[in-house]
Structure 1
């Protein structure tokens, strides 16, 4: 079915939630139970884009849109809001945050647009009577993404290094602190956990300073490692020994062979 309207999807959602003839699973859902599915659908959209499987994107975007429609149906049933309210909210927000398009600010550079966006967001937070620049950062965000948001917020009020050297030095400092805890006669797992958290936070800060999205970088690293390890498994399977019978030196040799092959194919 092709249509430029949202009504057919809203109608489907209404029928799914009909108390008499609706779907039992859909009728059991609430705002809180939908959250894991929403996150999953968002990641599936991200994965589709990263794989450049754009022919799959309409389907994945539809799944994500359905999550929004589901929340709107729940809000409508509880007399809180409906889809029209959501559309109005986002339209008003986008209009107010783009004065270079809808307001007096004209011919703005990309950097000016970004600065204006952050300034307007800060005013919106102040209007909500928030007491800290760190207020209103969603707890449900992935830890790496939340770290970036925290660091960006504090940087806005000057709590940030202007140069790269101290950012890197902080990483080395945190590595030393992790190793110090590990080398204790009786290592404290809680202390190691705490220091590892500091190290990851410091590495995230370096990524932010370099303009790298750490969540995306880590996903890419995971994908690269998986691809290379599968090739290592293939090489191991071609030998006369099972994977587990190889020494680490032998497996490392396979790994270097795979890396070398990838480099030559670029």
Structure 2
């Protein structure tokens, strides 16, 4: 079988057609590709999405380019499988998203007027309800990680005007939830606690913090992931220094570990 040459014209159209032809070849001739289903690809697509997220956080443009290609392959793969069952094909997919974008941007493709980004978001949610969504929150996937889901819920509620007016109000809510959590899980109280209720109060506290982060334009998922990476880097420095000193972490005192930890904070 002849190898499909690269796009010498360097146009999006011919490059995309090349990918479609390669996908057809793989689906017809490769034992692994022939065996795949939407269900078998699902977890791989999720993995590829996280790899793209990692490369974005690392600021590695070459990795971002590579991961975008991997995800593009998955999208084409799903469309190819859909065409085999006559449910949809890649043309249906592309026209579907084009039609949706045109419908949901009446300020571009019709006579609707907007003043700012918030107007655009509100129009978007109103249009979705007209399209048949029974709830503004209906479009939030149930399987989203809780932190991301909380952000999306709050953004969608804001889109129809259900929101605090000022960030000071949100911070007051954070402090209120902190006090309620402290009342349920007081570290100074050695008695038994109602863990179910304490868990509920802790969830309320996290939700209010995520809400405040939105008001000051901080993505809580990105913020937490950067802290995770910072902790990993410092902890691995601690492990390295302990090994160089001929010590095992489990045998060191907290004060001894703090010496190396503070070194890591200066790096």
TM-score of Structure 1 vs Structure 2, range by shorter chain? 0.7 to 0.9
Match of 1:206 in 2: 212
Q: 2:169 matched to 1:166?
A: yes
Q: Using the alignment, how far apart are the partners of 1:212 and 1:70 within structure 2?
A: 35
Q: Using the alignment, how far apart are the partners of 2:196 and 2:79 within structure 1?
A: 42
Counterparts of 1:176-255 in structure 2, within 5 Å, are 176-183=179-186, 185-255=191-261
3-state SS in 2 of match to 1:187: coil
TM-score (norm 1): 0.83
Match of 2:48 in 1: 41
TM-aligned CA distance change 1:26 to 1:119, over 3 Å:
farther
Tell me which of 118, 121, 124 is aligned to 2:124: 121
Q: 2:24 matched to 1:14?
A: yes
TM-score (norm 2): 0.82
Query: Does the CA contact (< 8 Å) of 1:16 and 1:27 recur in 2?
Result: no
Q: 2:58 matched to 1:51?
A: yes
Unaligned 5+ residue runs, structure 1? none
Tell me the CA shift for residue 103 of structure 1: 4.6
Tell me the CA shift for residue 26 of structure 1: 4.8
RMSD over equivalenced CA pairs, Å:
2.6
Unaligned 5+ residue runs, structure 2? none
Counterparts of 1:102-181 in structure 2, within 5 Å, are 102-104=109-111, 112=116, 114-181=117-184
1:6-59 CA distance string (max 9 Å, x none): 2232233234333xx4424652422x4433222221221121122122122222
Query: Does the CA contact (< 8 Å) of 1:97 and 1:116 recur in 2?
Result: no
Aligned residues: 254
Q: Using the alignment, how far apart are the partners of 1:218 and 1:171 within structure 2?
A: 18
